Structure 1
Amino acid sequence: MPTLIEAPAVIEAAGNQPKRIEEYAGRVRTAHDGVSVARMVAPSGWVEPGQRPEFEEITVVLKGLLRVEHEGGVIDVEAGQAVVTRAGEWIRYSTPGPEGAEYIAVCLPAFSPDTVHRDT
C-alpha cells in the first residue's frame, strides 16, 4: 500500500545564514538509508562549508541560482537546470543571486551528517 508523507521533517542546516531543509524521505523522516529527497530554501548570500560527501547528489533548481564550487571551478545552476555531484568530490554550495534559491536535493545513499564530511 502506498504511504502518504503528510509533511516533511524540518532539519537544521549548516551555513552562514538560516536555510530551510524539508526532508520528505530519508534517514530522519522515513528511515530510508538508500535515498533522501529534500526541498531546500536558501536566502540570498547563503554559503555552506565545503564538503566531500560519500553520497551522490542530484540537485534540481526550482527558483533562483545555486552556485556549486568544485576543485575544477564553479558551476552556476539556474532555475530549470540540475547538477549531479559525485561521491568523494569536494563541493561547496552557495546562493549568490538576489533571490536566493529553492531546490530539490536527492542523495544516494541518503544524506547523513556522518558521511557529508564538511570542512572545519
Structure 2
Amino acid sequence: MPTLIEAPAVIEAAGNKPKRIEEYAGRVRTAHDGVSVARMVAPSGWVEPGQRPEFEEITVVLRGTLRVEHEGGVLEVGAGQAVVAHPGEWVRYSTPGAEGAEYVAVCLPAFSPDTVHRDP
C-alpha cells in the first residue's frame, strides 16, 4: 500500500537569514537514506555557506531566482529551470532577487549534515 506523507518535517536551515526547509522524504521525515526531497522557501538576500557535498543535488526552481556559485563561475537559475550539482563539486546557493526563491531539492543519496561539507 502506498504511504501518505501528510505533512513535511520542517528543518532548520544554514545561512544568513531564515530559510524554510520542508522535507517530504529523507533522513528526518521518512528515514530514507537513498534520497531526500524537500521544498525550500528562501527570502531575498539569503546566502548559505559554500559546500562540497558527497551527494548529487537536483534543484527545480518554482518561483524567483536561485544563484548557484561554483568553481567555474555563477549560474542564475530561474523559475521553470533546474540545476544539477554533482558530488564533490563546490557550490554556494543564494537568492539575490527581490522576491527570493521557492524551489524543490532532490538529493541522491539523501541530504545529511555529515556529508554536505559546508565551508567553515
TM-score range, shorter chain: over 0.9
The alignment of Structure 1 onto Structure 2 pairs a total of residues equal to 120
1:10-41 per-residue CA deviation (whole Å, 9 max, x = no partner) reads 00000000000000000000000000000000
Q: Which residue of 1 aligns with 2:60?
A: 60
Any gaps of 5 or more consecutive residues in structure 2? Answer: none
Q: Which residue of 2 aligns with 1:17?
A: 17
1:78-99 per-residue CA deviation (whole Å, 9 max, x = no partner) reads 0000000000000000000000
1:62-84 per-residue CA deviation (whole Å, 9 max, x = no partner) reads 00000000000000000000000
Q: Distance in 1 between matches of 2:110 and 2:76?
A: 24
Q: Which residue of 2 aligns with 1:112?
A: 112
Q: Which residue of 1 aligns with 2:51?
A: 51
Matched, 1:33 2:33: yes
Q: Distance in 2 between matches of 1:98 and 1:64?
A: 8
Aligned letter for 1:34?
G
Question: 1:100: how far off?
Answer: 0.1
Q: Which residue of 2 aligns with 1:82?
A: 82
Q: Distance in 2 between matches of 1:116 and 1:85?
A: 12
Q: Distance in 2 between matches of 1:81 and 1:39?
A: 15
Question: 1:117: how far off?
Answer: 0.2
Root-mean-square deviation (Å): 0.2
Any gaps of 5 or more consecutive residues in structure 1? Answer: none
Q: Distance in 1 between matches of 2:119 and 2:84?
A: 20
Aligned letter for 1:89?
E
Question: 1:109: how far off?
Answer: 0.1
Q: Distance in 1 between matches of 2:113 and 2:76?
A: 25
Deviating above 3 A after TM superposition, structure 1's stretches of 4 or more consecutive aligned residues are none
Q: Distance in 1 between matches of 2:61 and 2:24?
A: 17
Q: Which residue of 1 aligns with 2:103?
A: 103
Aligned letter for 2:19?
K
